[in-house]
Amino acid sequence: MQMVNRNLKSIMIGLLLVSISFNGWAEETITLKELVQEALKENPQIKAARCSWEASKRIPTKVSTLPDPTFMFGIRNVGSRYSVGSAEMSMLEFSFTQRIPFPKKLSLLGRMAEREAEIMEEEYRGTLLSVIEKLKSAFYDYFYIKKSVESINKNIELLEKLEKTAQTRYEVGIGVQQDVWKAQLEISKLVERLEILKQMEGTTRAIINSILNRPPSAPIGSPVDFDKTALSFSLEELFKMAEENSPELKRYKHFKEREEINMKYSKFQYLPDFSLNFGIEERGSLDRIWVASIGIDIPLYFWGKTAGVKEAQWRVSSAEYSLQNVKEVLFAEITSAYLSATASERLLNLYKGEIIPRASAALEASIVSYSVGKVDFLTVVTNLITLLDYQLTYYQKLIEFEKAVARLEVLTGVQFATEVKSE
């Protein structure tokens, strides 16, 4: 009997150790910040978006430059023999022609290209933040899996000790064999959960490796503990941040500006372009002839240009409505993510401050009562599994909170936690 009580005391100590410890985990091998920095350097999606942005920045100079001039060489000959220098109408002709669009046309094209470059910049920012959000989400899932495996393994060890205790009690005549079977059944259930978690771990590892441009099965180590992100902003403050910084919203604002410039450009199509021409006619020993002329396009087919103006006006209206729609959808998504984060945070505090301590106390009390025969073995096992479920639920709510914060970073364009900077 004394040996049985000693076993129960050792189990109580073990259970106290396995009950949730928020600050005592040993340091592991990888951090979220390290993974983010690697993703910024290696992720092909980020690189592709950066290249597209860099390419778009060169377009304004290209489209606002005058078209290439034309040089022409010709010969005018009289008769069947070479007559330049002897016949008055025979000559060598050299001409240079430069086409000049109507003033402001090129500058408008340049401004449209600048807006397009700004659109590509916001697409790059949005891609960068979205990739990092995906990485964070996978990291938090990986964190949850690792901590779940750790907690379940500890509980398996404790259940094995309880099984031995139940076996001892049965052998000395103060217990029943079904207690042993119950402990073995719960161990099998936990082993089943471990197998599911191992499969999830492999999938999550493959996702992280794909973001980092690694082979799917490349090892990434175990995640270290992290401080819970502080979310100190109100919903109205988040709306204001999004209004000023959201890549999606700014992209549509630039798109609207581009269409407005395009409408101005379409009206300039009613105005003619020009061409300047200078030529020299060399006649050998005869006097040289030079020619200078100005050509003016005639915007004769105005109905096509009118259709272009109407098209541009409709495009401006479309851009305005698209911007309005994007803003409404964005604010709705911010509201949803914010409510998810705040709800998860309240539940975190509830689990940490009340539910888990009470479940731990209930388990300790049931072990003591079991040692003196006041409660049955099933109560102890039930309390043990309940505490484990609460622990895992705490981790689940923690990663739900962090995922919601990561989503808010994408939606508002403002970084709350891990700083995201591309080289």
Please give the tally of structural domains in the chain: 1
Q: Are 91 and 103 in contact (CB under 8 A)?
A: no
Question: 3-state class of 70 per DSSP?
Answer: strand
Residue 277 belongs to some domain of the structure: no
Distance in angstroms (rounded) separating the CA atoms of residues 30 and 222? 6
CATH number for the domain harbouring residue 113:
1.20.1600.10
Residue 78 belongs to some domain of the structure: no
Residue 351 belongs to some domain of the structure: yes
pLDDT the model gives residue 15: 52
pLDDT of 398 over the 90 cut: yes
**Of 380, 374, 357, which Cα lies nearest the Cα of 159?**
380
pLDDT of 167 over the 90 cut: no
Over residues 196-206, mean pLDDT: 94
Residue holding tokens 């920095």?
37
Q: Tokens for 320, please give them.
A: 């305005």
- Which phi and psi angles does 212 have, rounded to 5°? -85, 5
Angle, nearest 10°, between helix axes 377-412 and 235-245? Answer: 40
For residue 132, what are the domain limits? 2-69+103-272+303-412
**Of 311, 301, 276, which Cα lies nearest the Cα of 291?**
276
pLDDT the model gives residue 181: 87
Q: Tokens for 221, please give them.
A: 């180590």
Residue 36 belongs to some domain of the structure: yes
pLDDT the model gives residue 309: 94
In tens, the pLDDT along 3-29 reads 545 555 555 545 544 444 444 444 457
Distances (CA, A) of 341 to 292, 406, 408: 74, 10, 9
Residue 394 belongs to some domain of the structure: yes
Residue at 341: amino acid letter: A
What are 45's strand-pairing partners? none
**Of 19, 24, 255, 283, which Cα lies nearest the Cα of 122?**
255
- Which phi and psi angles does 159 have, rounded to 5°? -65, -35
Residue 212 belongs to some domain of the structure: yes
pLDDT the model gives residue 14: 54
Residue 6 belongs to some domain of the structure: yes
Q: Tokens for 421, please give them.
A: 């900077």
Q: Chain-centre distance of CA 269, in angstroms?
A: 41
Rounded mean pLDDT of the chain? 88
In tens, the pLDDT along 266-296 reads 999 999 999 999 999 888 777 888 899 999 9
Confidence of residue 105 (pLDDT cuts 50, 70, 90): very high
Q: Tokens for 414, please give them.
A: 């403002």
In tens, the pLDDT along 22-59 reads 444 444 578 999 999 999 999 999 999 999 999 999 99
Residue at 207: amino acid letter: I
The helix (run of H) or strand (run of E) holding residue 199 is helix 177-211
Confidence of residue 316 (pLDDT cuts 50, 70, 90): very high
Looking at residue 398, what DSSP letter applies? H
Distance in angstroms (rounded) separating the CA atoms of residues 18 and 115? 58
In tens, the pLDDT along 57-81 reads 999 999 999 999 999 998 888 877 8
Give the Cα-Cα-Cα angle 44, 110, 45 (nearest 5 degrees).
5
pLDDT the model gives residue 324: 96
pLDDT the model gives residue 25: 40
Distances (CA, A) of 210 to 25, 203, 207, 236, 268: 28, 11, 5, 36, 49
Residue 89 belongs to some domain of the structure: no
- Which phi and psi angles does 271 have, rounded to 5°? -95, 145
Q: Chain-centre distance of CA 89, in angstroms?
A: 73
To the question of pTM greater than 0.85 for the whole model, the response is no
Distance in angstroms (rounded) separating the CA atoms of residues 256 and 321? 10
